[in-house]
Amino acid sequence: MSLTASQPPAERYRSFLAASRGEVQVVLGTRAAAFAPIADLGLVAMWDDGDDLFAEPRSPYPHAREVLLVRAAAQDTGVLIGGYARTAEGQSVIDSGWCTELVAEQRERRRAWPRLTVTDGSTDGAAPVRLPQEAFRAIRAAEGAVLVQVPRRGYRESLSCQTCREAARCTTCHGPLGQSSAAAPITCRWCGQGASPWACPSCSGTELRSPVVGALRTAEEFARAFPDREVVTSGGQTIVDNVVPGRRLVLSTPGAEPRVEGGYDVVILLDTWLMLARADVRVEEESHRRWFNALALAGPGAKAVAIGDAQTLQALVRADPAGFAARELAGRAETHLPPTARLVTVGGPDDVLVELAQREWTPHTEILGPVPADPRSAEAGERLILRAPRREGAALARALAALAAERSAAKMPGLRIQVDPPTL
């Protein structure tokens, strides 16, 4: 039986009742399935626990992995967490002895893994190129389908001056300029105001360049470079699930890669530096997860080319997600970040957070902030960060629950409290 949040209410309720009455033995689904009311639970299983879709965006922000682990401990059942990559949280339950890792021998993993070449395209001291010769040769030699992973969707999401490299900004609201397609005009991504003709306020240049190229623009470039191949794009609102085998060039954003029978002959990881450029504590873990998932779609004897820094991408070359997860967990321990510590973000009005910063929480709780909240997030006002050792996590959670109860009883506005948020 399936149980997902996308089901119609009546169908979902029927599935819920069937599970609670013991009429089904197996429940499959998205994060909603983690709460399936199964009494005699024998096994909880999860695939690719690092996927951000498992993190509930609504209060109290549970993560499906944590829900399943709590249920497994409470109901004394087995746990199986699988994936092509491994998270720091997954490594932590192995290091604690709570779970045992099941992995193939290194020789077997390397045999099943595509032969990966890492390059930045530079030769004889020249500047790096976006599509080096190694990738060109691999694509031309492929007899079957080729997968190219592009970090950004869209066409030209950001523009800058061709002469001085200054970012192109709207003269009305100073927002970034962009272009949605080859035939579309250049407009502001904030207010939608047209920007043609455009002139650089710094050097008076009139030509624009795109430092970040999206999947649609990349598809145009590949179509010109490889006219003998059909170009297929997958990402955004148009996601392709499966591709018919043949001489096709598939350009996909991370997570939207279609499958092809027999696997891809070649996998190209484009602009890996761009995926690592995001300001996020989990950026390396998330990037490696997406790269491992893409490389896993390669067929037997396939080749792969990753454009980026060879030292940064060594885990991909060695087919060693476990080693990467162990290093990531060690880094989290040094910086006192989850899962080795408990971290809580509290969003709310400035005056309230200033008062909370003066409170005594647990003996070793660090108080960071308050600082202005990210304008792209759902938080209002400012944000306070509380960081405590894992052994004091339960006490800190109880103190925050008491705070929320106090404010609710006093009819005061609620605060946005999130424990171990997936992003900061």
Residue 83's pLDDT band (cuts 50, 70, 90): very high
β-sheet bridge partners, residue 248: 230
β-sheet bridge partners, residue 344: 386, 419
pLDDT at residue 223 in the model: 78
- Given a contact cutoff of 8 angstroms between Cβ atoms, the answer to whether 43 and 77 are in contact is yes
Q: Does domain 336-419 have CATH number 3.30.70?
A: yes
- Given a contact cutoff of 8 angstroms between Cβ atoms, the answer to whether 159 and 177 are in contact is yes
Question: Who wins on pLDDT, 129 or 419?
Answer: 419
% the chain with pLDDT above 90: 31
pLDDT above 60 (res 408): yes
Pairs from 139-144 (Cβ < 8 Å, separation ≥ 24): 139/226, 139/229, 139/249, 139/266, 139/268, 140/226, 142/247, 142/265, 142/266, 142/303, 143/247, 143/265, 144/245, 144/246, 144/247, 144/260, 144/262, 144/264, 144/265, 144/299
pLDDT above 90 (res 84): yes
Q: Which residue has the tokens 């709310």?
A: 348
Which tokens hold the place of 187? 């407009």
d(CA 147, CA 245): 12
Per-residue pLDDT tens digits for 259-285: 999 999 999 998 888 788 776 788 899
Residue 122's pLDDT band (cuts 50, 70, 90): low
**DSSP 3-state of 378:** coil
Mean pLDDT is lowest, of 60-64, 212-216, 234-238, 321-325, for: 212-216
pLDDT above 90 (res 46): yes
**DSSP 3-state of 11:** helix
Instruction: Judge if the upstream peptide bond of residue 370 is cis by omega within 30 degrees of 0.
Output: yes
- Given a contact cutoff of 8 angstroms between Cβ atoms, the answer to whether 268 and 305 are in contact is yes
- Given a contact cutoff of 8 angstroms between Cβ atoms, the answer to whether 206 and 186 are in contact is no
pLDDT at residue 147 in the model: 94
pLDDT above 50 (res 112): yes
Nearest in space to 158 (alpha carbons), one of 86, 111, 201, 217: 217
pLDDT at residue 285 in the model: 93
d(CA 27, CA 33): 7
Residue 271: which region, alpha, beta or left (left: phi > 0; alpha: psi -120 to 50)? left
d(CA 251, CA 123): 26
Nearest in space to 320 (alpha carbons), one of 111, 85, 108: 85
Residue 240's alpha-carbon distances to 79, 297, 421, in angstroms, are 32, 14, 31
- Helix count (H) and strand count (E) of the chain? 12, 20
Instruction: Judge if the upstream peptide bond of residue 338 is cis by omega within 30 degrees of 0.
Output: no
Per-residue pLDDT tens digits for 136-149: 889 888 989 999 99
Domains 2-82 and 106-154+214-331 share a fold: yes
Q: How many CB atoms lie within 10 A of CB 184?
A: 11
Q: Does domain 2-82 have CATH number 3.40.50.300?
A: yes
Helix (H) or strand (E) segment spanning residue 116 = strand 115-119
pLDDT above 80 (res 376): no
Q: Does domain 106-154+214-331 have CATH number 3.30.1490?
A: no
Q: In the chain, what are the domain boundaries?
A: 2-82, 106-154+214-331, 157-211, 336-419
Q: Which residue has the tokens 């162990």?
A: 326
Q: How many CB atoms lie within 10 A of CB 287?
A: 25
Instruction: Judge if the upstream peptide bond of residue 197 is cis by omega within 30 degrees of 0.
Output: yes
Mean pLDDT is lowest, of 95-104, 126-135, 363-372, for: 126-135
% the chain with pLDDT above 70: 91
For the chain, give the mean pLDDT: 85
Compute the C-alpha angle 396/352/409, nearest 5°: 70
Residue 104's alpha-carbon distances to 87, 107, 302, 314, 413, in angstroms, are 18, 8, 19, 19, 52
pLDDT at residue 125 in the model: 46
Per-residue pLDDT tens digits for 2-40: 888 888 999 989 988 998 898 888 999 988 889 989 888
